């Protein structure tokens, strides 16, 4: 999620032994190879010049909505969502994910999540930017499923991404060992994103409301929730309109689609 430049892909991530993973261009979750040939999250595109106009602890972003904790030593982030039913124009989409870095640290993100499309399809994925995202195999996703997302960095260059479908009792994990960047461990986030696909940002689908429950971040200073986090709202056109807004409680982050 760079401000202006799309990050170049680094070497492809390797699957952990026993884990069946494929690049997004051959996703078994949603077999539409042409669309997922170059799928990627981008760092938070903060619209800094607009932040002073906000009346609460919100910042505008061109692509993120949700909450970001800013500090140091963050190495594990977790949250659980209910998969939403979405609508929108052809090609409209969004993704919900948890991650480490990508806001004040723009050079790396360790993340995992679920993408949802206006045609009713879904994709479960993991990513360590600047590499592209990759799909998990054999992980079914349906509207209403409870999905727990976890990223856990054992060091600034190694980590694990895990998705658990608490409704179907499925679990998938990917271990990152040959990573394309070094984490700063200064950001922990719970985000709904208008991601990049084929080099362009997707139109944001109407996802209703997505809430990350049991939202937790752990690190060298202990464990906490999203209280005090920076709230992020999506504004794709320099603040002329707002498409999605974030809010927080002591243990949850909610993102609401508010349209164009």
Active site residues per annotation? 193
Rounded distance between C-alpha atoms, residue 146 and residue 125, angstroms:
16
Bond preceding residue 131 cis, omega within 30 of 0: no
159 membership: H or E segment, kind and range:
strand 158-165
DSSP tag of 226: S
Rounded distance between C-alpha atoms, residue 3 and residue 103, angstroms:
10
Bond preceding residue 130 cis, omega within 30 of 0: yes
β 230-234/58-61 pair status: parallel
Which structure tokens are listed for 57? 């602890």
């Amino acid at each position: 999620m760079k401000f202006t430049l799309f990050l170049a892909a680094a070497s492809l991530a390797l699957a952990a032994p026993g884990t069946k993973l494929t690049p997004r261009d051959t996703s078994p979750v949603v077999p539409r190879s042409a669309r997922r040939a170059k799928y990627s999250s981008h760092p938070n595109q903060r619209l800094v010049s607009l932040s002073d106009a906000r009346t609460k602890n919100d910042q505008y972003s061109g692509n993120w909505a949700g909450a970001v904790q800013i500090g140091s030593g963050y190495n594990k982030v977790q949250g659980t969502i209910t998969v939403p039913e979405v609508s929108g124009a052809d090609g409209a989409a969004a993704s919900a994910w948890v991650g480490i870095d990508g806001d004040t640290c723009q050079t790396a993100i360790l993340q995992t999540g679920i993408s949802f499309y206006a045609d009713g399809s879904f994709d479960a994925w993991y990513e360590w930017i600047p590499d592209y995202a990759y799909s998990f195999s054999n992980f079914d996703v349906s509207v209403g499923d409870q999905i727990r997302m976890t990223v856990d960095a054992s060091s600034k260059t190694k980590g694990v991404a895990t998705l658990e479908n608490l409704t179907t009792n499925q679990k998938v994990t990917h271990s990152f060992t040959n990573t394309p960047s070094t984490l700063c461990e200064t950001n922990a986030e719970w985000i709904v994103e208008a991601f990049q696909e084929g080099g362009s940002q997707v139109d944001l689908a109407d996802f209703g409301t997505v809430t990350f429950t049991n939202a937790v971040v752990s690190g060298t200073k202990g464990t906490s929730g999203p209280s005090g986090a920076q709230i992020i709202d999506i504004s794709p056109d320099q603040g002329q309109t707002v498409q999605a807004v974030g809010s927080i409680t002591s243990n949850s982050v909610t993102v609401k689609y508010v349209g164009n």
